């Protein structure tokens, strides 16, 4: 609890907002914490805990960016690790002398939703380095690319396996900043055909002789 206040003091002017959720604490305790600290303190009757718990250990820590992407989650409290994720997600404190800021790239993903390759396009000045990272909805890094202007992702991870269906985020990072776009991955046509064939086989086998 006190360390969250330190985080707020260190990173609050850069947009960081800590949030403390207390499990089964009395309202008197919540009010005491609220008077002690400058960040929001909430009381949980079990719903939030059941949705986000890992192995029922307290404390449980999450770092979530402004797009709702979970960057980090772990039981226990490692201040140096948490600081690393917070600092990596926040905008820089300043700009090096002589460096010209460029507008953050506008990012699109097409088609969206998709069941095949998706093209991630972005606007960026020529010659500028661009990193493209694809994350799952839980914040797991799936693929990374370096490109100029666009990336065509075949929906496979670093090992060549097709990713699971669901929501994904593409984050484009340049010297000017970063921007994200979210898109949905649907079952592949092959999966749909396999499911249709399986249903047809079951129907045929269940037909009376």
Q: What CATH number is attached to the domain comprising 111?
A: 2.60.40.1930
**Are 111 and 70 within one domain?**
no
- Work out whether strand 20-23 and strand 41-44 pair parallel, antiparallel, or are unpaired: parallel
Q: What is the distance between the terminal CA atoms of the chain, rounded to a whole angstrom? A: 70
The pLDDT tens digits of the residues spanning 26-45 come to 888 778 878 888 778 888 88
**Are 145 and 75 within one domain?**
no
**Are 63 and 10 within one domain?**
yes
Residue at 94 is within a domain = no
**Are 79 and 20 within one domain?**
yes
Q: What are phi and psi of 52, to 5 degrees?
A: -120, -5
Residue at 203 is within a domain = no
**Are 33 and 71 within one domain?**
yes
The pLDDT tens digits of the residues spanning 58-77 come to 777 888 877 667 777 777 77
How many domains does the structure of the chain reveal? 2
Residue 69's domain comprises: 2-89
**What is the band of 199 on the pLDDT scale with cuts at 50, 70, 90?**
very low
**Are 7 and 83 within one domain?**
yes
């Amino acid at each position: 609890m006190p360390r969250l206040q330190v985080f707020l003091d260190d990173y609050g002017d850069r947009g960081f907002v800590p949030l403390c959720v207390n499990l089964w604490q009395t309202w008197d305790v919540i009010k005491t914490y609220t008077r002690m600290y400058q960040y929001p303190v909430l009381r949980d009757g079990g719903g939030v805990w059941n949705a986000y718990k890992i192995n029922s250990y307290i404390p449980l820590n999450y770092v979530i960016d402004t797009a709702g992407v979970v960057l980090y989650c772990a039981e226990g409290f490692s201040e140096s690790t948490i600081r690393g994720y917070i600092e990596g997600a926040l905008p820089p404190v300043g700009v090096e002398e002589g460096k010209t800021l460029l507008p953050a790239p506008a990012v699109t993903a097409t088609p969206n939703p998709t069941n095949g390759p998706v093209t991630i396009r972005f606007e960026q000045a020529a010659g500028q380095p661009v990193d493209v990272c694809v994350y799952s909805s839980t914040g797991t890094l799936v693929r990374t690319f370096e490109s100029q202007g666009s990336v065509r992702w075949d929906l496979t991870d670093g090992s060549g396996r097709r990713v699971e269906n669901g929501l994904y985020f593409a984050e484009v990072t340049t010297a000017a900043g970063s921007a994200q776009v979210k898109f949905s991955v649907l079952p592949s046509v092959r999966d749909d055909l396999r499911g249709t064939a399986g249903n047809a086989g079951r129907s045929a086998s269940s037909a009376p002789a």
